[in-house]
Amino acid sequence: MNRLRSLGLVSRLTGLSVLFFLIVGGVGFVIADHSLREFEQRSLSDTMQTAARVSAELVQDVYPDLTYSVDAQGQVVNVIWPAIPEHPDDRIVDQLHAITGTELTILRWDAARNDFIRASTSLRDADGQRMDGTQLGADHPARAALLRGEPYLGEAEILGQPHLLNLRPVKAPDGRVIGSLGNFVPQSALADVLGATQREIVIGVAVVSVLGALVLFLVNRALLRPLSGLSAVMGRISAGDTTVEVPALNRRDEIGTFARGFEAWREATAEAAALSRLAREAEAEQARVVGDLSLGLSRLAGLDLTASIASPPEAPFPARYEEVRCNFNAVVDTLSETLLMVQQIARSIDAGATEFNGIAQDMSNRTETQAATLEETAAALDELTASVQSTAQNAAEVDSAMAENGRQAEEGGQVVRRAISAMEQIEQSSRQITRITDVIDDIAFQTNLLALNAGVEAARAGEAGKGFAVVASEVRSLAQRASDSAKEIKRLISQSTEQVEAGSTLVNATGSALGVMIERIRSVTTMIADIANSAREQSLGLSEINTGVKQLDEVTQRNAAVVVQSTTSSEVLHQDAARLTESLSRFRLPEVAATGMPRPAMAAVPYAVNLTSAASPPPARPEEFRPVPLPRTGTDAGGGWEDF
């Protein structure tokens, strides 16, 4: 933990960024791996269904008496085979393996063995020989399902290796189960594909994490570089150098705010140093006055500055001492004026220290309030950041779902277009059948005429033509029935044509509606993708704001410590001024000078500083100013500007 605290801000941010990329990459890898496994399972299931259909077609090509059907899900069902040969053609299983890469086994039920026998299979034993004639086994998981006439889709071990099986029962025309068509594929193929894809995903996540961390490191370094200059300025000001120039004062970001704060601190430090120098000059002046009055301290031991050496007319002071008296009286008057001025200065310093203490206390309270507000703001920003990240994740999921819906709608449009084409072909076939019925009707009419002519000829022949007349009558009746049937067929075909036209119209309308739906789905997908991108950008922006607020909270806490130290210093200054006033109260000072000479006008006291107006300009800096460190107090406890 101590090593972490000693790291720079750029290193911390870079480390957090790398951790963030690693977490996101790990979550993405888990999701991608899960999706990949589902996709591979679906692909494998589709492959097995395709292999089943191809197997049935290949067997039917060789044995036309086999029939089957395909349900709506593409599964081969209702496999009917009058009799399964004892040794089917092995080229069927080999051809399936060459086409689909899957294996095929034709099972035949052997009542004598009470088990399914592999009549033809692509399985080979350790010696490379086909396993034709081997039994399925009573413990095989597919046996019970096949005997019930149900298909089996599951796993089983073949030659010690796990395989995925798809077995369809083969029934005789009377419904008895007489065998099975079974496709199988080793699961090791799926494991190899998954392993290669997982390695590619891991490499991609690692590359993206490294590149992202490098970019964030460069960006953080560029953004936080001005803080190094401000840190150096802070060190020089802490050392007492108030002539240093603070950089980045004209910036409009948080760094500019910090720079202007350092500038205000530098000016306040210079002002405090000037006040300290003026106080020391006043003490030196007082020390010189006390040194000039060292010969008269015996008379001033009682601290009575109202006493003076008088020279009454009846007893004038000796002339040789007149100069001493005048000098003494002048010294007393001058000392009185000086002590009065010092008393006023002490009161002014006391008032300024009291006012500064109140302002510092108010600033401390405001800083504490600001720190609490910043802490609440940081917590609220954390919650808002989490909410925006959740919204971005949900928008990404909705985007994926809308893309899948668009794909399904495209497939629906293709199905509708194929249905339209089929309806048109049905309509053309109906027209051809109509033409055929017209031909049949003409044939029936011609046959009827021929039968009528035959009847007439039979009547002319008399007794010899009676048999021929009966035949002609039957032919006539048959021609009439053919004509009636042709008319009925024509009527039914006419109705079918009308229904086909109506169905074609409905299918066309459905195709148009699906086209509009697909366009709208594309538009919605685009808008959702934009929303997802905006949510991700907002999440990144909130993360940066959150980091800035936390930094501002830390600086505010440090400022609060500085304000507390300033309050302590002002209290010490107030105590010193009180002690000075108490010391001056021991002197007895005159209301008016005893010599009767006018008191010199007191200059404006430069020690009281108005701290209530932040807009007041700082006092002029003396030409020979030198920074003087402030006295350390007992409440400092080893802290100070260096800690800031």
Q: Any idea what the CATH number is for the domain that residue 78 is in?
A: 3.30.450
What average pLDDT does this structure show over 366-393?
Answer: 78
What average pLDDT does this structure show over 325-347?
Answer: 79
Question: Where does a domain end: 532, 554, 576?
Answer: 554
Question: Where does a domain end: 554, 571, 606?
Answer: 554
Q: Collapsing DSSP states into helix, strand and coil, what is residue 218?
A: helix
User: 162 in a domain, yes or no?
Assistant: yes
User: 123 in a domain, yes or no?
Assistant: yes
**Which phi and psi (to 5°) does residue 504 adopt?**
-65, -40
What's the rounded Cα separation, in Å, for the pair 368 and 624?
39
Q: Which residues of 459-482 are buried (b: 16+ CB within 10 A; e: fewer)?
A: eeeeeebeeebeebeebbeebeeb
Number of domains in the chain: 2
> Cα–Cα–Cα angle for 29, 34, 36, nearest 5°?
90
Q: Could you tell me the two tokens for 615?
A: 């807009």
What's the rounded Cα separation, in Å, for the pair 49 and 153?
10
What's the rounded Cα separation, in Å, for the pair 345 and 342?
5
User: 268 in a domain, yes or no?
Assistant: no
User: 530 in a domain, yes or no?
Assistant: yes
Nearest partner of 183 among 247, 91, 105, 85, judged by Cα: 105
Tell me: pLDDT of 9 over 80.
no
User: 641 in a domain, yes or no?
Assistant: no
- How distant, in Å, are the alpha carbons of 155, 399, 641 from that of 33? 22, 20, 55
Q: What is the pLDDT of residue 627?
A: 40
User: 219 in a domain, yes or no?
Assistant: no
Of 132-141, 219-228, 491-500, 608-617, the poorest mean pLDDT is in 608-617
Task: Dump pLDDT digits (tens) for 106-129.
Answer: 888 988 888 898 888 888 877 778
Q: Collapsing DSSP states into helix, strand and coil, what is residue 587?
A: coil
Residues sharing a CB contact under 8 Å with residue 250, sequence separation 6 or more, in sequence order: 256
The answer to whether residues 352 and 576 touch, using CB atoms and an 8 Å cutoff, is no
The answer to whether residues 166 and 182 touch, using CB atoms and an 8 Å cutoff, is yes
User: 70 in a domain, yes or no?
Assistant: yes
Question: Where does a domain end: 554, 574, 591?
Answer: 554
Of 41-50, 262-271, 328-337, 563-572, the poorest mean pLDDT is in 41-50
User: 346 in a domain, yes or no?
Assistant: no
Segments in 225-293 forming alpha helices (H) = 226-238, 254-292
What's the rounded Cα separation, in Å, for the pair 608 and 182?
105
Q: Collapsing DSSP states into helix, strand and coil, what is residue 49?
A: helix
Task: Find the domain containing 70 and state its range.
Answer: 65-187
Give me the CATH number covering residue 406: 1.10.287.950
Tell me: pLDDT of 31 over 50.
yes
Q: What is the pLDDT of residue 93?
A: 84
What average pLDDT does this structure show over 361-388?
Answer: 78
Segments in 293-318 forming alpha helices (H) = none
